[in-house]
Structure 1
Amino acid sequence: MTDSDPLRRLLDAVLEDGDGSLAGMAAGAHLSPFHFQRTVRSAARESPTAIRRRVLLERAAWQLQRGSSVTDAALGAEFDSVDGFARAFRRAYGCAPSQLPAAAERGHWLPAPNGLHFHAPAVLYAEAGERREDSTGEVTALLVEHDLEDVEALLGVAEQLDAQALGRVRMRGHAPRPFDGPEESIAQTVHHLVLSREPWLASIAGEVMPPELSTLAVPITGRDVAALRERHRRSAPRWLAMVREVQRRGAWSDRVIDALCEPPESFLLSQILAHELTFSAHRRQSLRWMLADAGADLTDPALDPDPILWHRRRTGDQP
């Protein structure tokens, strides 16, 4: 939607700072409350009050997932009390505000009849009007969840090695993506394996890129594997939430513009996921070879790379 879009002007009036009353929103659009409400409902299939309440709750959920206090989130969502905010939040998300960070894989969007959502740092994200047939089924979730859990298991093995074993060159000249730098050692490989998803997450969410992501080619010391494992545990739910949300909306043909590329480049969400799954699978298998070369014990069934066996262990579905 452009600034000249009539619906966008109405939505700006719905979401602009103010008292949030129907009269206040209508005044911002220079319309009577009756005409304002009827026009917004006709265009967006949702009342102005409902849009504002839902988008502010989505913003509150987004803030909570990034460390905001419940009190600050409640005030930002225009609630008079934390208790009132907590009740509304529980009705919307099925959990208390304080429990949301632990359930961050659900994302922060609520069901909407119009595809309008809070999307940081902008106010709204407007879904494409055309619905695409979702052909991915559950295989997408299976591939992503297996990938994330396999990374976690491999990091647990790498964490047991000393700095010398981590830093030793084992695959000289190995660089599956040259712009990332070499992956000749366990240290370099786990570094890339964990951090590779984060630039995409920042681009998709409209966030500022963490400055440390510009140093993907820098090797790490043994101490840092534990920190990387913790970082993986924070980013993995966000990655899974993104995948689930895109799949729910059938939005794999949506695009993001990556301004960090020179020149800026656009990517389909489907391309991003395929790209990451491909290189993550390669890195996981390279890492297995290097861990075995370092003398690590890989006989635990949880370290078997086969997604069939992983899924059977997870679900108890035996042949």
Structure 2
Amino acid sequence: MARSTYVSEFHFSREVRRLSGESPAALRRRIMLERAAWRLQRGEAVATVAADEGWSSAEVFSRAFRRSFGIPPSRVGAEFRLPAPNGLHFHPPHSLWLDGNTASADIPALMIAHDIADTGYLIGRAAELSNTQWRQPLSPNQVVLDWDGPESSVAAVLCGTVWAKEVWLASIEGRDFPSRAATDPASVDARSLAVHHDDIGAHWSAMVATMTADGRLADTVIDALCDPPESFQLYGIVAHVLTYAAHRRELVRALLSRLDVPTRPGDPLDWMRGN
């Protein structure tokens, strides 16, 4: 492992200890003992587990197990995890598990950030198209939401994605119905849409963050202009926008593919690896 990182064994061990709180040998030994405990829970023989996990004998393994778990391997309990300064544990059947900070696991914030980033990425890819390709009606009967009308081109779908956030922002903030000038697929190009999307995306993200911090996501907007009037809870609006934004992004990927413009996957997991 030290050779693969182009450092000395001493330096590698020191860095692992500094970053993880355990030496490489201690970390490996603890993970192997956790895996051994899990195997014992499943009814495997002590001698078999000891041999498979690399111990010189069942007796040596039993002594190490007792020192770590406080009980002999023959009395293994339901828990196979040992205390770890770094939160890294064996995870059945062949993986590792790293404990995280629950307070930072904000799923809505992740989805909103990913939606904005991925939409911006797709608009950037669409900027490679000619004006004809940008507005080309590749899917003439394609409708995402009835009230938005047909979205047959890359321009129409991407403009619809940005427009949806703009409309809901105006509704939530009590402003007049916005003009479609900045998201009209008949007149807007990808570069100008990108600038407008940056503004709307930042505004949308800030609105959701503020409403979340103020504990107001369960508030309701009642649209009296509908016949009959309709009510929308804020967290439902956010879910609605995210759902159809994700759908539109995949439609754009399919349309761009037909125009020979490759795109990376729209998977949040792939995006998280780079962020």
Name the TM tier (shorter chain): 0.5 to 0.7
TM-score, normalization by structure 1? 0.51
Q: Within the alignment, does 1:313 sit opposite 2:274 as a pair? A: yes
Aligned to 1:233, what secondary structure does the other structure show?
A: helix
1:164 aligned residue (101, 118, 132)? 132
1:273 aligned residue (221, 229, 238)? 238
Report the Cα distance in structure 1 between the residues aligned to 2:123 and 2:225, rounded to whole angstroms.
28
1:304 aligned residue (240, 265, 272)? 265
Aligned-residue Cα RMSD (Å) equals 2.3
Q: Contact (CA 8 Å) 1:259, 1:265: kept in 2 or not?
A: yes
Counterpart position of 1:232 = 197
Note the residue ranges of structure 1 that are not aligned, 5 or more in a row: 1-134, 315-319
Report the Cα distance in structure 1 between the residues aligned to 2:225 and 2:185, rounded to whole angstroms.
22
Counterpart position of 2:222 = 257
Q: Contact (CA 8 Å) 2:138, 2:255: kept in 1 or not?
A: yes
Amino acid at match of 1:310: W
Distance 1:231 1:260, change over 3 A: farther
Structure with greater Cα Rg: 2
Q: Within the alignment, does 1:284 sit opposite 2:252 as a pair? A: no
Note the residue ranges of structure 2 that are not aligned, 5 or more in a row: 1-102
Counterpart position of 2:186 = 220
Cα offsets for 1:158-191 (capped at 9, x unmatched): 1111111112222231101011011111111111
Report the Cα distance in structure 2 between the residues aligned to 1:187 and 1:272, rounded to whole angstroms.
24
Q: Contact (CA 8 Å) 1:199, 1:209: kept in 2 or not?
A: yes
Q: Contact (CA 8 Å) 1:203, 1:257: kept in 2 or not?
A: no
Q: Contact (CA 8 Å) 2:163, 2:180: kept in 1 or not?
A: no
Counterpart position of 1:153 = 121
Amino acid at match of 2:197: H
Counterpart position of 1:246 = 211
Report the Cα distance in structure 2 between the residues aligned to 1:191 and 1:282, rounded to whole angstroms.
14
Distance 1:312 1:210, change over 3 A: same
Counterpart position of 1:188 = 156
Displacement, 1:225?
Answer: 1.7
Aligned to 1:270, what secondary structure does the other structure show?
A: helix
Report the Cα distance in structure 1 between the residues aligned to 2:120 and 2:272, rounded to whole angstroms.
15
Counterpart position of 1:105 = none
Q: How does 1:87-166 map to 2 (within 5 A)?
A: 138-166=106-134
Cα offsets for 1:169-228 (capped at 9, x unmatched): 222311010110111111111110111111111111112222327x97x5324x522111
Report the Cα distance in structure 2 between the residues aligned to 1:226 and 1:312, rounded to whole angstroms.
27
Distance 1:275 1:265, change over 3 A: same
- Range with greater deviation from structure 2 (231-240 or 247-256): 247-256
Task: Number of aligned residue pairs: give it.
Answer: 173
Aligned to 2:274, what secondary structure does the other structure show?
A: helix
Counterpart position of 2:5 = none
Q: Contact (CA 8 Å) 1:188, 1:219: kept in 2 or not?
A: yes
Report the Cα distance in structure 1 between the residues aligned to 2:196 and 2:108, rounded to whole angstroms.
23
TM-score, normalization by structure 2? 0.58
